[in-house]
Amino acid sequence: MKTDTIFYRLFQSFPSIFFELINHSPTEAQAY
Q: HEC states along the chain?
A: CHHHHHHHHHHHHCHHHHHHHCCCCHHHHHHC
pLDDT at 22: 75
pLDDT at 3: 74
- Do residues 23 and 17 lie in contact, with contact meaning Cβ atoms separated by under 8 Å? no
pLDDT at 4: 82
pTM of the predicted protein model: 0.34
pLDDT at 27: 59
pLDDT at 24: 61
pLDDT digits 0-9 by tens, 1-32: 577 888 788 777 777 777 777 776 555 555 66
Give per-residue burial for 1-32: e unless 16+ CB within 10 Å, then b. eeeeeeeeeeeeeeeeebbeeeeeeeeebeee
